[in-house]
Every structure is written in C-alpha cells, then in structure tokens.
Structure 1
Amino acid sequence: MDIAVSQLLLLACFLIPCLLLFAAAAVKSRRRSIGAAALPPGPPRLPIIGNILNVGKNPHHSLAELSKVYGPVMSLKLGTLTTVVVASPEAAKEVLQVHDQALSGRTFSDPVRAIGHHDVSVVWLPALARWRLLRKISAAHLFSPSRLEASKPIRTNKLRELVNFLNGSRDRGEAVDIGRASFVTAVNIISNTLFSIDFGSYDHTASNEFHDLVIGIMTAAGKPNVADYFPILRFLDLQGIRKEMKSCSDRLFEVFQGFIDARIAKRSSRNDPKDASNTDVLDSLLDIALENGWELSVKDIRHLLLDLFLAGTDTNSSTVEWAMAELLHRPDTMAKAQAEITRVIGKNGVIQESDIPKLPYIQAVMKETLRLHPPAPFLLPRKAESDTEIFDFLVPKNAQVLVNVWAIGRDLNVWDNPSEFEPERFLGREIDMKGKDFELTPFGAGRRICPGMQLAFRTVPMMLVSLLHSFDWELQNGVVPEDLDMEEAFGVTLHKAKPLFAVPIKKRVVPISSPET
C-alpha cells in the first residue's frame, strides 16, 4: 500500500476517538436477517483497521492466498467496509448469474466519486433506468454488429499503420515498447471511432500525454485507498489520489469538451444540423441529445466518452503486451502461433478480421493470456443491494463483492498446471469468454458484463496477429527468454511492472507444422 504500515497504524491511533464513534455507528451484527446465516469466514481482524494489513501491494495475490485458507467465499473488514471475496467458478456463478440482480450494484472508489463519475457513468451507475439507457446507447452506437462492421476500415487502417511503424523499427534494428505501440494502435482506433481523429503517435519524440492520462486514471482508481476504508477521512486526501484522478480526468474532459463545442458550432452553422458524412460516435450522441430535447446533457456525453475511451484503450493494449510477453517467454509456443498464421493467411497474405475464427491456436493463446492475466483481476466491485445468501453465508446489504478472476484462473482445482502458459489446454475444449463459463470470465457476466467485449474480440487478436505475421522477435540486450521479467503491477488494469521491449526482425523461413504437434 502507499502508506507504510507504521504510518497507517499511527494515523489510526491518532484518530481513534472519532473513528471509534464512527465504527460504533457502523457496526452490525455478524448474524443478519436471513435465517441463521452468518458472514463467510475470514482472517482475524485488528481493531479499527480490520483486515487492511492483509491486502498488501498486490491484493489479487494476497486475497487468493487467504482464500486457500478460508474458502472460496471469504469476508474481510477493510476499515468500515465489509467485503466479500469469491474465488471459485461455483461462487462466481452465484454472484454473476444466480444473484446477479441482488448483487448488481457498484461500490466505487473515492477518486471516482471525486470527479462525480459515479453519478453519470454507465460503469458505476446502479443498474436502473438511467444505466439501461446508457447501455442501450453504447450498444447501438458503438458495439452493435452493424457499427462494428462499419468501423472495420478504421481498425484495418490503424493496424496497417502499426505494421508500417514496426517495419521502420526492424530496418533500424530498434527495440519496440510493445505496450506503448499497442496502446497507440488502440487509442487511435477508439479516438477515430469516437472523434474521427488520431490521439496517438508512434514517434518516440511525440508526447505520451494520452497514454499517461489513461494510466494515471486507471492507477488512481485501482489503488488501495484509506479514504475508501474510512470515509470520514475523504476530505484529507491523505495519499493524494483524489488530486491525481482529478488532474488526469480534467484534462481528458477538456479535450472532449473541445470536440463537443466544435461539433455543435459546426452544426449551428449549417441549415441542416445533420451531416450524413459524419458517422463517428460523437455525432451519434449529439443526434440523440438534440432529437430528445437534450435527454443526454453535455455532461452525460463527456462522461460516457470517458467510459468508452478508457474501456477501449488500456485493457486492450495491456492484453496484447501480456500475450507477447508470454510468447517471447516461450519461443516454441510463439513458433506454433506463427506457423498457424502462415498456414492460414500465407506468408504475404493480408490479414482480415474474418480470418480470426480460422486461427484456433491464436484464439487459445488469447484465452490463456486472459486466464493468467485478466485485465481487471477483480472485475469491477459489485455491491449487495439487499441481504443475500451464497452457499449458506450472508452477503449483507451494502457489502462490497469482489470476484477474484485472477485466483480462479490459477486454481489447481480447475486447471492442470495452472501457473504454466499452455494454450493447448483450450484446443478442442468448449470454453468461451462471454459469461457462460465461470472458470474464464475476464469480461464479467450477467447484466454487468463488459459491453465492449465484441470490440475487444476483434481488436486484440488482430493486433497480436499483426505483430506475429510479418516479424520474428528477439528480446533486447541479449536477454534470454527464461529471464524475461513477468512481474505484475496492480491497478484497475493489470499491467506488466516493467514494459516489454522487443526487437522485430526479418521473418525466418521455418517449416509449417500443426500447433498440435
């Protein structure tokens, strides 16, 4: 955590008088209104701070270890916040399907609250009428099959630009920051879809502003935060997380507002406010706003754009980086993936989105990457809207509910050799990632399933295939595959702790074999 243990304990001791009063008001019986159900088991709690010290720097790791001791449904007390953690496919099904409605609320972190995002965001709003409207708008104007098909030329063009950049790096013998290159591609796909303009540049001398802003927001939203555990301390912003979140989000809102103002001014200067030549998402949102008497306000549009922008960039690029890291870590597996691509597409063939279903090993690589490195290791936190019972344990109203999909992906009871990267485990095995198979739910399930899942299914494999089709790869500075650093950095999105640098080289001629061999 950002505050050292000694500092946190000192703070707690200093504030004991007011915290005791606050805690006394918040204490509820461990036995609640549902029959004789009690809270799930969990580790012993310290006075005031509860289990905060059990969370650690990498909560997905520490809570996975605790779940091995206390079971797949476990409870913790994080300051004043009751938290239930589930860590098995069966328990995940209870949360995401069986009790989806009762557990469909959201607990949101203090930084999200600080920018007012919880009041207007499709990600954080309760699953009620306003949320349904925003989900419907997102589905119709960005993620519907017709819109995804219409935006295919954007993705094709941006992937071509990625390959051109890699060609230049290959010719110069330069190492490529895989995460940054993937982010530039992802951000330009989403910025062209939203605004018809590039936000990113592959030029190393160009500003990384948008990358830094997105990472800043995702990091701030995902940090363990004293203000979430003790709401009475919010105004102090002891860790500076509110300030960090506001600084990054204000800059993005400023950019979005500039596009909104320019588009409205352009419409006002025409007799006909509609322009059939404009097909980006911003125009669609303004159409909805104007046609429905501003049922969507400018503020609504700004925050929806933030949701779409964040969801379509960082998670996609981090998944590509993890996939490439795993393949570079295991050259034999990379060779199998490249052989399949060559066999299906040809050495000089042009990659099409329609080719992806013909590449079962690539699809298996993607599933294995998301099993070991889910972009959101706890998905996004849910909140119990009412007292709910899971496996005879109570999930009390207002409790935070975390689904540790990272732990499920590494569960010995679910997977053979769970810590090993073995795409072969998915060949001939019917496991999808669309919320039906609870051993693999990186996009969630139920009414809160990620609405951008279909866009990710198109974008991420195409980026990976683009990297593998035209180039072989070597680690920089003579690093051998087995020494590649695979450490994680925790946040809302699970990043590599150290960026992956690799050198694209001319494709070698190798025999084409089946991935099963």
Structure 2
Amino acid sequence: MQYTFFSQLSPLILSYFKLLLRAIFTLIETLKYPPFTPKSQKHKLPPGPKPWPIIGSLPEMLSNKLSAPKWIYKLMKDLDTEIACVRLGNVHVIAVNSPTIACEFLKKQDDVFASRPISVSSYLCSGGYLTTALVPMGEQWRKMKKMITKDVLSPTKHRWLHAKRMEEADNLVRYVYSQCNATHNSNDHKNDEGGLVNVRIAAQQYCGNVIRKMIFNQRYFGEGGKNGGPGNEEIEHVEAHFTLLKYLYAFSVCDYIPWLRGLDLDGHQKKLKDALRIINKYHDSIVEGRMKQWKEGKKTEAEDLLDELIFATVDNPSNAVEWAMAEMLNQPQLLERATQELEQVVGNDRMVQESDIPKLNYIKACAREALRLHPMAPFNVPRVSLSDAVVSNYFIPKGSHVLLSRQQLGRNPKVWKDDPHVFKPERHLRDDGSDVYLSEPDLRLLSFSTGKRGCPGVVLGSTITVMLLARLIHGFSWRAPPDRTKIELVESETDLLLAEPLVAIAKPRLPHEGYLLD
C-alpha cells in the first residue's frame, strides 16, 4: 500500500488546491476541532494529532515530505504509542503496531472489525464489490466466502491442482538453468561459471505462471519466451497486477473528502483503469470462450479454477523470496545451511517436491523471516468497525478504519528482542523441532492476517512461497555479481520492493539429468 498525492498533481491543480486549503486555514486557524469524545463516553480516543474541522489532519499529512505510512510511523514514534488515531476528513484512522492490541481487533473483537472501507480503488479492483477480499461485510461477502472456501481453496482442490503447480515448479528450474547457460555454448552442459539471473523476473513470473495455470490451465497468453521464460504478454499481465496492488487502498484524498472523488486529483483512478484494461484484455476472451463451451455442452467437467472462479495475486511470495535470497547472499552461511537441509531431506538425485515441505523447517524459517522483515505493503488491508468499541482501553468510533502496521509489527523490539532489524531465520525454529508455519495467529508478524477477513489461501500461498525458495536454493548455488561484494538491501522509494531487482549469479549444483524435467 503506497500513498502519493502532491507528487502526482499537475502544477495548476496543485496551486488551486493549496489556495483552497489556505483559505480554509485562515477561516478556522483559531478553532481547532476538539477530539471526538462524547461527554458520556468514559474512554478517550487513542493519541493523535488534533484535527481540523471537516478536513481533519489531511493538511499535516499532505504537506509533509514523507509518504503517508512513514508519516504515521513517525507520528506514533513521536507520541511513543502503539496505537494512534488520525482523523482524515471525517474518518478516524486507527494505526496499530502492537501484536497484543492487534489481536484485540482481529481476534477478540473480530465480529466488530470485520468489514472493509468503501474507496474508489477497492470499488474498481473488485468490479463493484463482487469479490471476497474487498467487499464490505454483508450478504455478498458471506456468499463469496462460502464459495471460495468450499469450491476454490478447499484441501480437495489443493490436491487436485498439485500437478499444475509442480509443472510450473519444473518450468522455473528449467528457466533458471537456461539463464545459467545463456552465455555459454548450448552443447556444453558443464558450466563452471554460472550465469546472471534476474531473481525478480524468475520469482514474479513463476508466481504468475502458477496462478495462470490454476485459473486458465495455460502458462502463456501468447507464444511465451525462450526456455520457459515469459513473453511480452505475461510481463505486461504481471506488471498490471502489481499496479493494481500498488494503488489498491493507496492514500487518496478523495476517499476522505467525497466531493473531490470525480476529479482524480492524484491520478490513481486512471492508473487502476489502465491496469484493469490490460488484465481484462487477456482474461475476457478466455472467460467468454469457456462460458460458451459450457453452454454448448462441449465442456462437462472442470479442468482448472476458471471453472470455479478465483482472483489471485502474485505479490507476497515473489517479494518474500526475492528479499530472502538477497539477505542470504549477504550471509552465505544461511544459504549453506538451507542447502544442507535440502540435501539431507531431498538429496541431489531429484528435485524438491511439495511432499518435502513439512520437513523443510529451515527453508520455511527463511521465508517466514522475509515476511517478517520485508512485507509487501506497509499496512494490512483496512478493517472497518461496524459499531462503537473499546480496544486497549481506548474508544474506537463506529466507521473507523483500522490499519495494522506490517512493518512495525514484524520489527517491534518488545516482541523481536534479538536484533529485530537483522535477518535471522533461526529465530523461528523451535527447540522441540516442531513444524514451522508461515502463518502467525498471534500477529507478531502479518503474513496472511487472521479472523473472518483473514486470507483463505494460506495453504496455497505458503506452498507457492516455500516451493519457489526451495527450488531456487536446491537447484542452484548463488553468489553476488562480479562487480559487487554485497547486495544493497535498500527499499524502493515508492514501495517496499528492493530498490533494484535482485540479479545474482546462479550455477547448477545438481547432475545435468536433473534439469531435464520434460
């Protein structure tokens, strides 16, 4: 979730908007709006800045040089609080960075905070609130939730689609193997040097391939690229999905001042519509063709999830694995330990399979640590309170938007006392050797959330993430490019991806026959 505003306004609109705000400030500068605390209400709002009438704290947020998430983080740090209230327009936005308080919202009072906010971006991305994840609480959500859990993401369906997932895991290895040998004689299978691999492309396209295979029963929309790589169509398709994710619930002033909604001042609506147009360009013809097959009786049984309906994304697994690989390249002993686990569990005579996952605790710990330290978005998908409530002895008004900080929960020094900003997979291993899971019910980190609006695809998301990381490490040895001694672990200025895509040297480490996966 990224918030941008001033940086995307035209100079003329920006000037007019500043004049408007200045006029408002002149009228009300001596009449700061009192905190919303009815006289009969015993509990106060969480700490936060004193809002202006009508517009709340929008001026302070818009005028600072930080993005909205960073501004909220700084505000909470300055106030020394684990829960804060910022009023934007007439909406109380409640930010939380404490697992204990987060559990009060998502577990103890889950029924109260089980809805979603109305926003331009969520309306566009959900086709008018027809999906499960983004629709406000109501009959549509209940109907879609039942269908998703029963017919799309059930254990039976997960087993049914196993072969399609493994086909794409094999294709991932084949593609990376081809990149290792891209600069070498194609007849020379003994590559002692390895080759440069763009891990971001490999990871994102693997996730995209898995989803396309499960939904449409096809890897490519066109002819595809060489050696299992993406074609232009697949690259455009994945980029469009990441555009949707970037602007979904991104801060937009029109969501808090409704009379500005039609102006698209920050340009988010145009970007979302353009991305949706690209996605629909590839999806619609397949969907229409499939519907025609069923109508004409040419199709009598489901072959993929298109026949059950699903909408999925590729962000969390690819981002977590790219960050994990970058962190582990800077700490080669971690890569060595992960490789040793794979050798012990799998050996070198075959590729790692989904059936090996329960025994790969260190691999899962690496993935879990990446999700803890490097989440895809600053906050979770917002929750909305359906009634007034009291949480952590603070009053939370009906209609409040609750944001749990993915970054700050995962780095909270009260929870992660041992170097919270350092990548240490072993912190997730248990002394008794019990299984490691990517989900976190106690919300010490946010991977798949929890409660009624928790992600129903926990098993699928975990499987994709672990298989991606395990295949990359099992099939290849990795090192930094020759012009670098370390990977720069710097976040992008506009999102939480690595500032530069991870490019590293991969060298096949298994017998050549193991890469012939046809």
Alignment TM-score, normalising by the size of structure 2:
0.84
Deviation at 1:114, TM superposition (A): 4.2
Alignment RMSD (CA, Å): 2.9
- What's the CA shift string for 1:166-218, capped at 9, x where partnerless? 11111125422212111111111111111111147454783121122111111
Deviation at 1:80, TM superposition (A): 3.8
Q: Equivalences for 1:368-517 in 2 at 5 Å?
A: 368-415=369-416, 416-428=418-430, 432-481=437-486, 483-489=487-493, 491=495, 494-507=496-509
Counterpart check, 1:196 vs 2:223: no
Distance, in Å, in 2 between the alignment partners of 1:404 and 1:508 is 41
Distance, in Å, in 2 between the alignment partners of 1:212 and 1:280 is 23
**AA aligned opposite 2:300:** D
Could you list the runs of 5+ residues in structure 2 that have no partner in the other structure?
Answer: 183-193, 512-518
Q: Relative to structure 1, is the Cα distance of residues 419 and 29 closer, same or farther in structure 2, using a 3 angstrom cutoff?
A: closer
**AA aligned opposite 1:390:** V
Q: Relative to structure 1, is the Cα distance of residues 55 and 72 closer, same or farther in structure 2, using a 3 angstrom cutoff?
A: farther
Q: Equivalences for 1:2-401 in 2 at 5 Å?
A: 2-4=5-7, 11-14=17-20, 30-32=36-38, 35-45=41-51, 48=55, 49-53=58-62, 57-70=66-79, 71-114=81-124, 117-172=127-182, 173-199=194-220, 201=224, 203=226, 206-207=231-232, 208-270=235-297, 274-276=299-301, 278-285=302-309, 305=310, 308-310=311-313, 313-401=314-402
Kept in 1, the 8 Å contact 2:5–2:62? The answer is no
Deviation at 1:506, TM superposition (A): 3.6
**AA aligned opposite 1:194:** I
Instruction: Give the match's secondary structure for 2:231.
Output: coil
Q: Which sits farther off after the overlay, 101-110 or 63-72?
A: 63-72
Deviation at 1:223, TM superposition (A): 3.1
Kept in 1, the 8 Å contact 2:364–2:437? The answer is no
* Paired positions, count: 477
Q: Relative to structure 1, is the Cα distance of residues 206 and 436 closer, same or farther in structure 2, using a 3 angstrom cutoff?
A: closer
**AA aligned opposite 1:487:** E
Deviation at 1:112, TM superposition (A): 2.5
- What's the CA shift string for 1:18-77, capped at 9, x where partnerless? 89999xxxx785103873222110135567425424886454444333323331111112
Kept in 2, the 8 Å contact 1:182–1:320? The answer is yes
Distance, in Å, in 2 between the alignment partners of 1:5 and 1:155 is 40
Deviation at 1:474, TM superposition (A): 2.1
Kept in 2, the 8 Å contact 1:5–1:53? The answer is no
Deviation at 1:252, TM superposition (A): 1.8
Deviation at 1:505, TM superposition (A): 1.5
Kept in 1, the 8 Å contact 2:199–2:502? The answer is yes
Distance, in Å, in 2 between the alignment partners of 1:228 and 1:20 is 24
Instruction: Give the match's secondary structure for 1:402.
Output: strand
Q: Relative to structure 1, is the Cα distance of residues 351 and 54 closer, same or farther in structure 2, using a 3 angstrom cutoff?
A: farther
Instruction: Give the match's secondary structure for 2:378.
Output: coil
Q: Percent identity?
A: 28
Deviation at 1:320, TM superposition (A): 1.5
Instruction: Give the match's secondary structure for 2:248.
Output: helix
**AA aligned opposite 2:137:** A
Q: If each structure's helix is expressed as a fraction of its own residues, which one has the higher value? A: 1
Kept in 2, the 8 Å contact 1:81–1:229? The answer is yes
- What's the CA shift string for 1:353-381, capped at 9, x where partnerless? 11111111111111111110123331101
**AA aligned opposite 1:484:** E
Could you list the runs of 5+ residues in structure 1 that have no partner in the other structure?
Answer: 286-304, 510-517
